[in-house]
Amino acid sequence: MRRNVVWSVLMLMVSLPMFATTWYIRPDGGTRYSAKKTAGQCDGKADAAYRGNGVNQHCAFNDFRYMWDDQSYANDAWVMAGGDTVIIRGCAASATQANRSAPACRIGWDASTGTGAGYTWCLGSSGYAGCYNPPIPSGTATQHTRILGQNYANCSTGTTSNRSALTQIFGGFGTGITLNLAGARYVDVQCLEVTEHNGKCIWFGAPAHPRSCSPGKDDYAQVGIRTSNKTSNLLLQDVSIH
């Protein structure tokens, strides 16, 4: 009897899933703390605002790009691991740019001027088109990586997505990819709108109407979501790509 109880406890311990981390992005969060950016304000692991003082606080990041870029030169690696969850409630620098009430986050350069904080997002990348996330870390069959808009738990009515509930991810100033899923496996993407804020030019198509986009000058994205022949077990639920 005693041996059976010990064996049952051991089997339960073996079958327990590995602990995953939930990361939070919200407009009132702070900058990312890292070994290279020790003045960073938040660790990204709490659904809380930055309180206004201190470094490495237990609070959310204020920009989705901090998930793979701490704004040190050529440091483009995801801070999260496969099987983690990211909940996006919006980004500080993007709400006014988006000119909309729903939460939004920019991907790529903030501006074409080549100066200021928006410029450092892309330092070390291959020009304007290189300012996108590296492939999202793969999950497993039992624990998927999840990229979620803030209303993911209530993002549809029946079989129809509620577009007003979507968190917007938009690419700009010639970024090559807005959301990179090339080679990603066991990844869930839910309750997101993937788009751009350009209405003045096109990148693909001929004849170009009204004109072709100019890299570094026009606020456009080349590709919404990229996959590859190695991408598998991908869930896109309540996602609008346009």
- Give me the residue spans of the domains in the chain: 2-241
Q: Would you state the pLDDT for residue 116?
A: 64
Query: Residues of the chain whose pLDDT is less than 70?
Result: 1-18, 75, 94-101, 112-118, 126-127
How far is Cα 109 from Cα 67, in angstroms, rounded to an integer?
15
Q: Is 160:240 a contact under the CB 8 Å cutoff?
A: no
Given a contact cutoff of 8 angstroms between Cβ atoms, the answer to whether 182 and 231 are in contact is yes
Closest CA to 77 of 128, 127, 24, 36: 36
pLDDT, position 81: 97
- pTM for the model: 0.87
102/88 Cα distance (integer angstroms): 11
- Tell how strand 145-149 and strand 104-108 pair up: unpaired
**pLDDT for the residue 210:** 86
What pLDDT does residue 59 have? 98
Do 230 and 182 contact (CB within 8 A), yes or no? yes
Q: Which of 27, 19, 62 is nearest to 42 (CA)?
A: 62
Identify the pLDDT of residue 6. 43
Is residue 192 within 8 Å of 149, Cβ to Cβ?
yes
pLDDT for 17:
47
Q: What is the pLDDT of residues 115-158, one digit of tens each?
A: 666 677 887 776 677 788 999 999 999 999 999 999 999 999 88
Helices (H), the chain: 2-15, 95-98, 117-120
